[in-house]
């Protein structure tokens, strides 16, 4: 989370008031007013029915489909993949506001200058590599490209290039006035044992890595000599590049989405697979850069589609990678499907042998993530042998038991029945036997969960200015959660000055994306509560009752340890008063 305090809270509030969220978002997505709010199809995941809601009064948005929420600043950061200072600059320019002098803050100006330098260096490097690919000195790369049947369009779309030797690029950039430290910070070179920079992609085919804003942020180089070295080398982590957050070809997918639209993304393993897929017409294809799928990857994928079809290599390693990818994508909110390519082929090989029509058939018939995992497990066992069938059943039941929907469990229990000829009812009993929890544990969880829900509803009511939620300054004494306490203080402070703490203000004070508790309050669904005023009082009483129980417990311990008869009498009087309050259950007494 960035240090937002530099700009000053007053400036940020004024900036957001000058950039109405409806006016700004309408430049990016089509809005339709229904009642008090505006609605649209969510730009962060693919959908046909609008579930993206913009509250004009509170100046925030929330998607009831994928759960994304934020203010105008959050939207631009996520949609355009912009840094916080860049968003502030854009909004200030939109409204003619002057940003507090950045020069006064050395930390920000230094970071901004370095970032800008790195972007310059990376783009110069990209142009240099691209120019090299057409030179006689790039014969090695040219022969490889012909062999892989890469055409001129693919060369241009993916901006493929070639690194001639370890020093050509370094000398070129240093002649432009860039220092060794700046070259290292940008990631275009590494520092050798002699302390001098060199191009670590020397004699490799170079794939520029471009983000969704169309900025080159790093490179990946393919070995052309089969030298036994790493097949692919990526830029090391920099302030611009982190492979755990980067998806290859996302810039092209964004462009294709804007031009023609699509409802799924195809995920393959390697860069050349992506190039081949795009050439064959599958322009909604991307790849991760040799790393497991992360939360950041998922967020990026959800911006462009609500379904991901895994089309990884057909060999054993590729199938295991598919299962790992499925596990990492579980509970992502994305629909996951998978294709198994025959004869251990990768997508590039399959296209060359069978053509795009056959691949489209495989994609159209891609199986669900659970079906793929079941078939993957099945290949490990000989079901004709009783002991192996037992192991197969146990492993698959474990997969099915983790599904949240009972209906979905039923579907795959029937599927397992068809594979083993064992009744789905028997399979279900075996599965349930492994899921039993003790009643005592359930009761404890239930009680704690009820108290958490009470806190959640009361604070959500305060945040959303429900008319029945009269603010009581003493309520802070019952809050043990620091985040809740901070939020209540912010709301109370505004109330003292006869102002309202808007939901949009929450995004200035909290890192909402990484704070599930605060996110729940922002997106609380009041429609599920029938009599909200009565429920508010019930929740408030539950919180106060829990506080009284705790206080009574402390006093009881003090009573047992106290030696003074006078003090014992005082403690007993306090305990009796608490018991009276517990019996009366009158909120006005507190």
* 573 assigned to some structural domain: yes
Task: Tell me which of 279-293, 451-465, 481-495, 539-553 is least confident.
Answer: 539-553
> How does DSSP classify residue 280?
T
* 546 assigned to some structural domain: yes
**Total domains, the chain:** 4
Residues 451 and 550 reside in one and the same domain: yes
* 187 assigned to some structural domain: yes
- Measure the CA–CA gap between 393 and 407, rounded to whole angstroms: 19
* Residue 218, pLDDT above cutoff 60: yes
Q: Please, which pLDDT band fits residue 447 given cuts at 50, 70 and 90?
A: low
* Residue 590, pLDDT above cutoff 50: no
Is 559 or 15 the better-scoring residue by pLDDT? 15
Report phi then psi at 307, rounded to 5.
Answer: -135, 135
Q: Please, which pLDDT band fits residue 248 given cuts at 50, 70 and 90?
A: very high
Cβ atoms of 429 and 401 within 8 Å: the answer is no
Q: What stretch of H or E contains 338?
A: strand 335-338
Please state, as a whole number, how many other Cβ atoms lie within 10 Å of the Cβ of residue 159: 17
Q: Token pair of 247, please?
A: 């998806």
Residues 577 and 449 reside in one and the same domain: yes
pLDDT for 514 equals: 76
Residues 500 and 515 reside in one and the same domain: yes
- Antiparallel, parallel or unpaired: β 307-310 and 335-338: parallel
3-state secondary structure of 32: strand
* Residue 143, pLDDT above cutoff 90: yes
Q: Please, which pLDDT band fits residue 44 given cuts at 50, 70 and 90?
A: confident
- Measure the CA–CA gap between 191 and 198, rounded to whole angstroms: 6
pLDDT for 89 equals: 86
* 373 assigned to some structural domain: no
Report phi then psi at 373, rounded to 5.
Answer: -65, -40
* 83 assigned to some structural domain: yes
pLDDT for 587 equals: 55
3-state secondary structure of 57: coil
Three-state secondary structure along 540-555? HHHHHHHHHHHHHHHH
Residues 428 and 454 reside in one and the same domain: no
* Residue 444, pLDDT above cutoff 60: no
Residues 478 and 583 reside in one and the same domain: yes
Task: Tell me which of 16-20, 112-116, 148-152, 387-391 is least confident.
Answer: 112-116
Average pLDDT (92-116) is 76
β-bridge mates for residue 128, sequence order: none
Give the relative orientation of helices 386-401 and 369-378 as an angle to the nearest 10 degrees.
Answer: 160
Task: Tell me which of 5-9, 246-250, 274-278 is least confident.
Answer: 5-9
CATH no. for residue 92? 3.90.580.10
Q: What is the mean pLDDT of the chain?
A: 87
* 275 assigned to some structural domain: no
Q: Please, which pLDDT band fits residue 103 given cuts at 50, 70 and 90?
A: very low
pLDDT for 445 equals: 41
Task: Tell me which of 307-316, 333-342, 431-440 is least confident.
Answer: 431-440
* Residue 340, pLDDT above cutoff 70: yes
pLDDT for 271 equals: 93
Q: What stretch of H or E contains 524?
A: none
Q: Which of 527, 522, 492 is nearest to 507 (CA)?
A: 522
Residues 545 and 476 reside in one and the same domain: yes
* 248 assigned to some structural domain: no
- Measure the CA–CA gap between 284 and 274, rounded to whole angstroms: 9
Select from 79, 100, 121 the last residue of a domain. Answer: 100
- Measure the CA–CA gap between 211 and 135, rounded to whole angstroms: 27
User: pLDDT by residue (tens digit) across 508-528?
Assistant: 888 887 788 888 898 888 888
Residues 130 and 224 reside in one and the same domain: yes
3-state secondary structure of 286: strand
Q: Please, which pLDDT band fits residue 240 given cuts at 50, 70 and 90?
A: very high
* 250 assigned to some structural domain: no
In sequence order, what are the residues at sequence separation of 6 or more whose Cβ sits closer than 8 angstroms to the Cβ of residue 45? Answer: 63, 65, 66, 68, 302, 303, 305, 306, 333, 334
Residues 91 and 157 reside in one and the same domain: no
**What is this structure's pTM?**
0.67
Task: Tell me which of 4-18, 39-53, 216-230, 264-278 is least confident.
Answer: 4-18
Q: Which of 248, 365, 341 is nearest to 301 (CA)?
A: 248
* Residue 494, pLDDT above cutoff 80: yes
- Antiparallel, parallel or unpaired: β 307-310 and 265-268: parallel
pLDDT for 436 equals: 47
Q: Which of 229, 240, 111, 230 is nearest to 187 (CA)?
A: 240
Residues 34 and 82 reside in one and the same domain: yes
pLDDT for 419 equals: 94
Q: Find the Cα–Cα–Cα–Cα dihedral 354, 357, 359, 363, rounded to 10°.
A: -160
Task: Tell me which of 100-109, 188-197, 317-326, 416-425 is least confident.
Answer: 100-109
CATH no. for residue 197? 3.90.980.10
Residues 480 and 560 reside in one and the same domain: yes
Select from 433, 467, 495 the last residue of a domain. Answer: 433
For 76, the domain range is 4-100
pLDDT for 357 equals: 97
Residues 84 and 37 reside in one and the same domain: yes
Q: Of all residues in the chain, what percent carry a pLDDT higher than 90? A: 48
Select from 211, 241, 271 the last residue of a domain. Answer: 241
| DSSP code per residue over 82-140 | --HHHHHHHHHHHHTPPPP-GGG-HHHHHHHHHHHHHHHHHHHHHHHHHHHTTSGGGHH
Residues 458 and 580 reside in one and the same domain: yes
pLDDT for 448 equals: 61
């Amino acid at each position: 989370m960035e240090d937002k305090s530099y700009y000053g809270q007053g400036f940020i509030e004024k900036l957001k008031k000058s950039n109405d969220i409806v006016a700004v978002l309408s430049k990016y997505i089509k809005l339709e007013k229904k009642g008090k709010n505006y609605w649209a199809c969510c730009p962060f995941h693919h959908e046909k029915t609008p579930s993206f809601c913009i509250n004009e009064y509170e100046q925030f948005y929330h998607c009831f489909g994928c759960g994304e929420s934020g203010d105008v600043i959050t939207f631009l950061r996520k949609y355009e993949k912009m840094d916080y200072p860049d968003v502030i600059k854009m909004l200030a320019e939109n409204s003619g506001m002057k940003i507090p002098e950045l020069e006064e803050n050395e930390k920000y100006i230094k970071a901004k200058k370095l970032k800008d330098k790195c972007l310059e260096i990376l783009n110069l490097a990209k142009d240099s590599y691209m120019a090299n690919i057409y030179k006689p000195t790039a014969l090695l790369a040219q022969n490889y490209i012909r062999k892989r049947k890469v055409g001129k369009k693919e060369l241009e779309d993916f901006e493929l290039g070639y690194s001639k030797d370890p020093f050509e690029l370094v000398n070129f950039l240093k002649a432009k006035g860039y220092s060794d430290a700046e070259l290292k910070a940008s990631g275009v070179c590494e520092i050798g044992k002699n302390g001098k920079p060199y191009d670590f992609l020397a004699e490799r085919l170079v794939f520029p890595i471009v983000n969704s804003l169309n900025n080159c942020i790093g490179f990946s180089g393919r070995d052309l000599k089969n030298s036994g070295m790493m097949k692919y080398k990526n830029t090391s982590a920099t302030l611009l590049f982190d492979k755990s957050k980067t998806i290859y070809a996302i810039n092209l997918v964004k462009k294709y989405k804007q031009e023609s639209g699509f409802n799924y993304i195809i995920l393959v393993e390697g860069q050349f697979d992506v190039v081949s897929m795009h050439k064959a017409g599958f322009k909604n294809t991307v790849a991760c850069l040799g790393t497991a799928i992360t939360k950041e990857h998922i967020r990026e994928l959800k911006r462009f589609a609500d379904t991901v079809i895994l089309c990884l290599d057909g060999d054993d390693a590729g199938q295991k990678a598919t299962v790992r990818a499925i596990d990492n994508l579980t509970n992502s909110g994305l629909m996951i499907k998978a294709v198994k390519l025959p004869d251990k082929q990768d997508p590039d090989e399959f296209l060359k042998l069978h053509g795009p029509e056959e691949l489209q058939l495989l994609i159209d018939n891609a199986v669900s993530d659970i079906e793929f995992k079941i078939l993957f497990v099945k290949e490990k066992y000989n079901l004709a042998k009783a002991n192996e069938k037992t192991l197969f059943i146990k492993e698959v039941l474990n997969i099915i038991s983790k599904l949240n929907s009972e209906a979905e469990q039923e579907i795959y229990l029937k599927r397992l029945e068809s594979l083993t000829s064992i009744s789905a009812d028997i399979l279900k009993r075996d599965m349930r036997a492994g899921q039993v929890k003790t009643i005592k544990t359930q009761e404890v969880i239930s009680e704690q969960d009820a108290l958490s829900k009470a806190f959640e509803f009361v604070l959500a009511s305060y945040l959303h200015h429900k008319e029945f939620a009269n603010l009581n300054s003493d309520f802070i004494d019952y809050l043990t959660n620091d985040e809740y306490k901070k939020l209540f203080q912010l709301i109370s402070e505004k109330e003292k000055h006869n102002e309202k703490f808007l939901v949009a203000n929450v995004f200035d004070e909290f890192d909402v994306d990484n704070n599930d508790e605060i996110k729940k309050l922002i997106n609380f669904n009041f429609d599920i509560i029938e009599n909200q005023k009565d429920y508010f009082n019930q929740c408030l009483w539950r919180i106060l009752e829990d506080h009284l129980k705790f206080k009574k417990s402390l006093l009881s311990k003090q009573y047992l340890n106290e030696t003074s008869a006078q003090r014992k009498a005082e403690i007993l009087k306090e305990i009796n008063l608490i018991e009276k309050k517990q019996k009366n259950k009158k909120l006005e007494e507190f």
